[in-house]
Structure formats: C-alpha cells, structure tokens
Amino acid sequence: MGCAAAYYLAKKGRQALVIEKDPGVGLQASGRNGGGVRQHGRKASLPLSMASVRLWATLAEELGSELEYVRTGNIVLAFDEENAASFERDAAWERDQGLEEVQVLSVRECHELVPGMEARVLAGKYCPTDGVANPMLVTPAFARAGLRLGVRFRLNAPVTGLLQQGSRVCGARIGAEEIEAETVINTAGPWASRFSEQVGCPMPIGPGRSQLLVTERFSRQMVHLWVSVRGWGYMRPTCAGNLVLGSAGSRNDEFSSHVDHPRLAMQAERWRQFFPYFKQVNIIRTFAGITEYTPDGDPYIGDVPGVPGYYVAAGFNGEGFCPGPMVGKILADILTGGEPCVSLEPFRTDRLAEGMRRGIAPPPVSYPWDKMFY
C-alpha cells in the first residue's frame, strides 16, 4: 500500500518518499501471502474489494510488469451444517451489494470444480471473477513504476517516531535523523499502531502469523481455482503448476516470521483429510508472514481527525493484498483533493479511539486459527 500510494501520488505530480525498514520492498506480508484477489466473503470491505478487482484488470499493463494475475474463480466450501446454511443468505446479500455473479453450488457442482475430495462437503459458494496474483511480483512492480516517475526510496531505515508541530504531523524520524514532509502515510502493517498511539489516536492491531506450504509441481493440475475451506484455510494453483496451501492466522506476539513446525504438521494433516491424494505429494517450501488483526475485523483507512498531515492504511486482517493497490490510489486521491471511489466510513481511523478515551475497552483481537483450536 505504501508503494502504491507513492506511485499514484507521483502520477499526480507529487513528490513521494518511501521509508522502508527492510533491505527491499515487499519482504513482509505484502510478499508473504497467498496472493488472493477476492471479493466474496467480505462484509464492510466488499465495495472496496469490488473496486479493487476492477483495478487489477488493467494493473499489469499500467505498471508495465508481469503480475501473474489470473481470474481463476474462487469457491468457498462448507463441511458443516452451520456454514452451509449461511451461504444462501450471504450470497443474497452480496448480490444486493452488486456482486451479481456470486452463486451457491450443489454438492455435485462442488466436486466438479474441486475433484479429489473425500471429506463430506455440504455446499459451496462461488465467484467467477475472483482470482490470484503473485505477491512476490506486485510490490516491486509498484516500486519500479514509482522510480520511473521520481519516487525516492530509503531502505534499511526503520522509522522510530513521527515529527509533530502541535497536533500536526510534519515528518518522520529515522534514529536521530529527521525527515520533514507535508504528509505522512502510515502503512506499517502490524507495527502501525505504535505510531498512531504517539499522535493520541489508538488503533489497536494484533500481530498474527499465517503459514503457507508450497507443493511440488503437478504433472496434471487437479485444482484450477482458489479454494477456501470456511474457517480453516485455502489452496490455490500457481502459474508454474504448484499448489499453495495457506492457513488462517494465529496470535504472534513475537512478530515472528519463522514457521511453526508443529502447526505446519497440523495443516498438512488436515489437508490430507480433505484431499487424500496429498499423501503422495511432496511439500518443497514453507514460509510464514506477519499478518495483522483488529478488534472489530475491519482495517483503518484514511485521515486521523484532529491530526492534520497524518493518514493510515493498516489492520487488514490477513486480507490486504487484494485491496492494496486500490487503497494506495484512494489515499493519493484524498491527498490531492479528490474523493474516494468507495465510502471509507466503516474504516474510520478513530472509531475505537472514541470509546477508549471514555474508558470503554475495545473487544480483544480475535485470531481465526486460535478460535478453532484454543
């Protein structure tokens, strides 16, 4: 989102500097995720996801880079009565919101789209316009396109604080170095909350960890679309013929991107229960990403009331890859006097701070993996 915002600001003739703590861009969750470009299953963020998918359609051409973006379709499978019963209701609501192509599938249709299942699937919900892209390609593509327009980058430069004049944010601090700026956009992911606390607007974010397994290449690909198992995880094909198997996020107070091997074993065993042919498939790589979760499940996007010069885009609950480019574009539009293409009201940056100032504690951050097992 930071690189996207910088690129779109540069397109509008504004100077932009990206400050990055790592030796390169996209080395955290932006490059360590399943690459889903998905809409259905969203609630408050559905309009944002729909607008994002429209942007993704021409993004590779705009950036002049291959992103491996493919509209594979996306099916969510239910293996229990409760989730199956919710599909008709959820699909009806999504169609009312404009996602007219979403549909509920029968058991037979689920097996036709996803062969090889032996677990008893009860229903599926399918969106043909959802897809995938390669997360290792997208952020660097924004960075290269930004460089061509004059965006500057400071790498290996952890921001240690914000500069303020009264209530206004006027720059950032890198150790003892001060960098002045007209506007600061905080896209620091799970680390974002520490800077918002500094300006007096708490935005609780809990760090999570999502783990992924990559299979060897299949001689004949069994799965051709994004497949989600409600409440558990997902799998999706790569352009090279592998499968990526991802999990729901778990609590990660250490901000660790190391893999949790016992949990990886649980993931692998569960996938073998769903799809027995995985018993004959080798896992060639595993990795983890530091995700971010908010108490109410929605991100923080936009300006911070009472704190001029400061904007935030953080707390995307493991679902920030799809809207990332559009969020960057929206921030650039707002900063140059435009209006966002979707309402940001559900994502107000101060929505929890108001109650916290009155002594009302926000609900605890909930992690999807932990809800299943602990």
Q: What is the pLDDT of residues 226-267, one digit of tens each?
A: 999 876 789 999 999 999 999 889 999 999 999 999 999 999
Alpha-carbon distance 299 to 10, whole Å?
Answer: 25
User: What value does the mean pLDDT take over residues 89-107?
Assistant: 97
Average pLDDT over residues 77-100: 94
pTM for this prediction: 0.96
The CA distances from residue 32 to 190, 237, 244, in Å, are 14, 16, 11
Whether residue 224 is found in the same domain as residue 185: no
Residues 279 and 171 in one domain: no
- Is residue 374 scored above 90 in pLDDT? no
Residue 60 belongs to some domain of the structure: no
Chain-centre distance for alpha carbon 220: 30
- Residue 80 is predicted with a pLDDT of 87
Rounded to an integer, the average pLDDT of 190-196 is 97
pLDDT in tens, 52-64: 999 999 999 999 9
The domain of 232 spans: 70-125+206-293
Token representation of residue 165: 């004049």
Q: Are 352 and 226 within one domain?
A: no
Separation of alpha carbons 189 and 319, rounded Å: 12
For residue 247, the model assigns a pLDDT of: 87
- The reply to whether 38 falls in a domain is no
Q: What is the mean pLDDT of residues 335-343?
A: 96
Q: Residue 104 in contact with residue 124, Cβ under 8 Å?
A: yes
Q: Is the pLDDT of residue 49 over 90?
A: yes
Share of the chain above pLDDT 90, in %: 90
Cβ contact 182:308 at 8 Å: no
Final residue of a structural domain among 251, 266, 293? 293
pLDDT 10s digits, 116-163: 998 899 999 999 999 999 999 999 999 999 999 999 999 999 999 999
Domain count, the chain: 2
pLDDT tens sequence across 208-230: 999 999 999 998 888 999 999 87
pLDDT category at 23 given cuts 50, 70, 90 is very high
Do 144 and 233 belong together in one domain?
no
Let me know if residue 362 belongs to a domain: yes
* Domain final position from 293, 321, 349: 293
Q: Which pLDDT does position 373 carry in this prediction?
A: 62
Pull the structure tokens for residue 298.
Answer: 């929605």
DSSP state letters, 162-224: EEEETTEEEEEEETTEEEE-S-EEE--GGGHHHHHHHTT-----EEEEEEEEEEPPPSS-S--
State the chain's mean pLDDT as an integer.
95
Identify the pLDDT of residue 111. Answer: 95
